[in-house]
Amino acid sequence: MKLEGKVVLVTGGGTGMGRAMSQRFAREGAGVVVNYARSQRQATEVVDAITKEGGRAIAIQADLTSDQEARRLISETIAHYGRLDVLVNNAGWTRSVPHQDLEGLTDEILEQTLAVNVKAPLYCIRAAAPYLRANGAGAVINITSGAAYTASGSSLIYAAAKAALSSLTKSLARVLAPEVRVNAIAPGFVDTGFVNWSPATLARLRQPGRLGRAITAEDIADAAIFLACDAGATTGQTILVDQGNVALGPHP
Ligand SMILES: NC(=O)c1ccc[n+]([C@@H]2O[C@H](COP(=O)([O-])OP(=O)(O)OC[C@H]3O[C@@H](n4cnc5c(N)ncnc54)[C@H](OP(=O)(O)O)[C@@H]3O)[C@@H](O)[C@H]2O)c1
């Protein structure tokens, strides 16, 4: 086990990729904090599943669009486990708005997209930094998106928000070195129900990609384990887990 005695916090850890990462980190021996905003039932299920396998996990509710809530999440993590080694900024939010529909980008959508995808990870990193630094080998993993590179995806503000998170990944990698490595994972489409896609778009996205398969939440968890445990000389980087779409162009 690679994370025996370590503590990992996964924001939005009760659903989708967050769930897969919470479970994988627990299997590596970490004590896990499963953060949720609204999905209490799912977060509790993840904690129960981890506990049943002999792992350690707790669920903590916090709406991370609030700096105060993010600071409380970190303090409750420290109060429970006494340390924090890995922070996974996985929580995200979007609404599907066609890019040409500029008027469809209401203030509410603009604000919530930027608040969850950009401000929340920054709030969490800022509050966690002293604890991540204290252990001398902390790691932050930000979940961005292939949309940050292609400026496509569910809305143009979502693509811009994930591009901002890519930029923060690099700035914070510089700021928090040498004690903390800051990296990102940019997934392609994963069928988690994250976006309110139309049935036609969903059918297209569900077609097998260049590697003849779908990208799964477990693929993202594999990349997270690599960045948290094995990538000791890597910081300021993004791993694209997208079947080569950004590097090679979309699969026909
Ligand atoms: N699925 C894809 O195709 C895809 C592709 C590229 C990138 N991503 C990114 O992958 C990450 C995980 O998404 P997913 O696909 O696994 O979808 P998901 O299951 O819907 O996960 C989103 C998570 O974000 C949490 N969240 C939203 N607002 C929050 C807030 N204010 N405070 C705290 N947590 C909040 C949600 O928790 P609650 O339910 O408790 O609110 C939920 O657990 C996101 O950052 C997303 O942008 C997804």
Domain residue limits, the chain: 7-239
Q: Is 118 in the pocket of ligand 1 (CB under 6 A)?
A: no
Superfamily of domain covering 7-239: NAD(P)-binding Rossmann-like Domain (3.40.50.720)
Closest C-alpha residue for ligand 1 atom 47: 92
- pLDDT at residue 135, as a whole number: 87
The answer on pLDDT for 252 being more than 90 is: no
Atom of ligand 1 nearest to the CA of 14: 43
96-129 burial, b at 16+ Cβ within 10 Å, e below that, comes to ebeeeeeeebeeebeebbbbbbbbbbbbbbebbb
Q: What is the pTM of this model?
A: 0.98
The answer on pLDDT for 120 being more than 90 is: yes
- pLDDT at residue 38, as a whole number: 98
Q: What percent of the chain has pLDDT over 90?
A: 98
Closest C-alpha residue for ligand 1 atom 46: 92
Atom of ligand 1 nearest to the CA of 187: 6
Q: Which amino acid is at 236?
A: G
Summary mean pLDDT of the chain: 97
Specify the DSSP class assigned to residue 208: -
Atom of ligand 1 nearest to the CA of 17: 16
- d(CA 62, CA 82) in angstroms, rounded, equals 19
pLDDT tens digits, one per residue of 176-218:
999 999 999 999 999 999 999 999 999 999 999 999 999 999 9
Q: Is 64 in the pocket of ligand 1 (CB under 6 A)?
A: yes
The answer on pLDDT for 55 being more than 90 is: yes
Ranges of H-type helices in the chain: 16-27, 40-52, 67-81, 107-114, 120-134, 147-150, 156-176, 199-205, 217-225, 245-248
Concerning whether 158 is annotated as a catalytic residue, the answer is: yes
The answer to whether 209 touches 243, Cβ cutoff 8 Å, is yes
Q: Which amino acid is at 22?
A: S
Q: Quote the tokens at residue 60.
A: 């903590």
pLDDT tens digits, one per residue of 18-41:
999 999 999 999 999 999 999 999
What's the average model confidence in pLDDT over 57-79?
98
- pLDDT at residue 251, as a whole number: 86
Q: Is 131 in the pocket of ligand 1 (CB under 6 A)?
A: no
- pLDDT at residue 1, as a whole number: 92
Instruction: Please tell me which residue in 81, 131, 149, 158 is annotated as part of the active site.
Output: 158
